[in-house]
C-alpha cells in the first residue's frame, strides 16, 4: 500500500519536496547496548523504523517496522520526541522534509532477522562505539535519548 502511495504521489510531484512521516525506535538490550540497522538504500547505519502508512499511528508503525526490519518484538516505553525540520534527498533524487517520531523501546521477543533488502546488517553497539549515523535526525534523537530528554520537539 505504501509503495503504491509513494509511486502515486511521486507521479504527481516528481522529485520535488514532499513531507514524509516516519517512526523509529531506540532499542536497548539487557547490556544497555543500542540496536542499529545498516540500511539497504544507502548502506549506512541508523535506528530502525520506517514510513507511516495511511491509517496507521506512529506507535503502530514503529512496532510493525521493527518486526519487519529486525525480527524483534518491542514494547514502547515512551516517546523521545518529534523531529520535524529535517530534509533528505534519496539516492533516486526524490526530496523530502522528513518528520520522525522516535520512541524509547525494549525488546520483548522475536529473533534477530536480516532481510537483506531494507536491512543489510543489525548490530547492538555500546554507546561509546556508535558508528556514523546516516542522518542528523538520528543524531539528535540519540542525544536526547542519552540525556534522558523526553517529549522533545524540534
What pTM was estimated for this model as a whole?
A: 0.94
Please say if the pLDDT value at position 3 is more than 80.
Answer: no
Between 118 and 49, the higher pLDDT residue: 49
For the segment 58-70, the average pLDDT, to the nearest whole number, is: 97
Instruction: Enter the C-alpha cell of residue 12.
Output: 504527481
Q: How many Å apart are CA 29 and CA 21, to the nearest integer? A: 26
Burial, 1: exposed, middle or buried (Cβ in 10 Å; 0-12, 13-18, 19+)?
exposed
| Domain 2-153, classified CATH 3.90.79.10, yes or no | yes
Q: How many Å apart are CA 17 and CA 95, to the nearest integer? A: 5
Delimit the domains of the chain by residue range. Answer: 2-153
Please say if the pLDDT value at position 5 is more than 90.
Answer: no
Please say if the pLDDT value at position 1 is more than 80.
Answer: no
Question: pLDDT digit string (tens) for 87-137?
Answer: 999 889 999 999 999 999 999 999 999 988 889 999 999 999 999 999 999
Between 2 and 32, the higher pLDDT residue: 32
Amino acid at each position: 500500500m505504501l509503495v503504491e502511495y509513494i509511486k502515486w504521489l511521486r507521479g504527481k510531484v516528481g522529485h520535488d519536496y514532499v513531507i514524509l512521516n516516519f517512526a523509529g525506535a531506540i532499542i536497548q538490550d539487557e547490556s544497555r547496548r543500542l540496536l542499529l540497522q545498516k540500511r539497504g538504500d544507502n548502506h549506512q547505519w541508523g535506528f530502525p523504523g520506517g514510513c507511516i502508512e495511511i491509517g496507521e499511528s506512529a506507535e503502530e508503525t514503529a512496532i510493525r517496522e521493527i518486526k519487519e526490519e529486525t525480527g524483534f518484538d518491542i514494547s514502547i516505553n515512551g516517546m523521545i520526541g518529534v523531529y520535524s525540520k529535517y530534509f533528505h534527498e534519496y539516492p533516486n533524487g526524490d526530496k523530502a522534509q522528513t518528520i520522525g517520531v522516535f520512541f524509547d523501546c525494549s525488546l520483548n521477543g522475536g529473533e534477530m532477522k536480516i532481510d537483506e533488502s531494507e536491512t543489510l546488517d543489525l548490530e547492538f553497539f555500546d554507546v561509546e562505539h556508535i558508528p556514523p549515523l546516516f542522518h542528523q535526525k538520528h543524531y539528535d534523537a540519540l542525544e536526547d535519548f542519552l540525556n534522558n530528554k523526553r517529549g522533545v520537539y524540534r
